[in-house]
Structure 1
């Protein structure tokens, strides 16, 4: 990749999970600063400038689609969402249409990420000294999103390559570049009520920002 040319990237947003650890609540619909968590995450990702976003739905899919009403994304239902996250990754990657160099696989409950965080990963991908898969890390803790070369798309769709798999990272260090981030936002998501409470407390301590026009 030419270091002077920013890669074109498309994004798969994983929003199919059952929220099994959230004690009966659907985590993607929990309110974050007045909007559903999934809407905040997708809206912020849009500001980072992807070629396209495919949102993979599954559990409570109609509600997720309604929460994203008006945003310029496409939806792909994963009928096998209960079989694990990799089935949603495969479904989303298979649904991508726009030409791109890099695919970014994102988690819909990472509500602390900012547009610049997504761009940080794409810029890091474009200048990494080796590899074709980028995984963010902070203080030894692996994070998300994971970025990988679009040339892997066929293998990802077939299930032969799982770009976020710890085994792949351990066994193929020449293919996987670990991006050391200076913040922990890549490692924070919302799986439990305690996670949600911590996220709300952290957002409450951050400076107020002007909502983007896409949030309306």
Structure 2
């Protein structure tokens, strides 16, 4: 168990789902967003912050009753960086590092989050610890050292924090996770149907 704060990004519009909400798709018997929030809650004793579209929105109901903190993102339509600005600003003072998790990665497990968290060594010169696929492609979750937090305050657009990762240069440690857990996202109804068929 770790006390690392975890930020769950869940404010996207699911624009390619043609009216459905991918974060409400059922995975392991429950809506994906609730599954991801429960995984995060099980991994840390620290706060779990969930970036969400401005209320009212069905995603708030999905995480009701869980010990997590909703973080409304008024300008979520701007792109992922609006969520990153709000969520990192909401971290407790003196946070030494924080884990970022995308809510739409249905193959991520508790063990994956723990594996990345256990790789964190704050006394090293590493600034980012990042989950990777079994074939070495960088993905999620990502742990950022506090040195990088100020960079999130100025982000704009939909870069997804790539600008902050670039600031870390070579001071990034990839942490291998099973299969494609670190990157498998499902953006369309066809993606979901194919994934379920493959399971």
TM-score range, shorter chain: 0.7 to 0.9
State the distance in 2 between where 1:127 and 1:196 align: 38
Shifted more, 6-15 versus 61-70: the winner is 6-15
Within the candidate set 8, 17, 21, 1:13 is matched to: 8
- The Cα shift of 1:148 comes to 0.5
Change (3 A) 1:153 1:127: closer
Indicate the RMSD between aligned Cα atoms, in angstroms: 2.7
Which residue in 1 is equivalent to 2:77? 82
What whole-Å deviation, never above 9, does each CA across 1:122-142 have from its counterpart, x for those lacking one? 111238964201222221422
Map of 1:83-122 to 2, 5 A cutoff?
83-97=78-92, 100-122=95-117
TM-score (norm 1): 0.79
Do structure 1's residue 153 and structure 2's residue 174 form an aligned pair? no
8 Å CA contact 2:6, 2:100 repeated in 1: yes
Unaligned stretches of 5+ residues in structure 1? 1-5, 206-216
TM-score (norm 2): 0.85
Change (3 A) 1:118 1:98: farther
Number of paired residues?
196
SS of the aligned residue for 2:174 comes to strand
Which residue in 2 is equivalent to 1:48? 43
What whole-Å deviation, never above 9, does each CA across 1:61-90 have from its counterpart, x for those lacking one? 521110111000111111111111011011
Change (3 A) 1:7 1:70: closer
8 Å CA contact 1:112, 1:199 repeated in 2: no
State the distance in 2 between where 1:105 and 1:146 align: 5
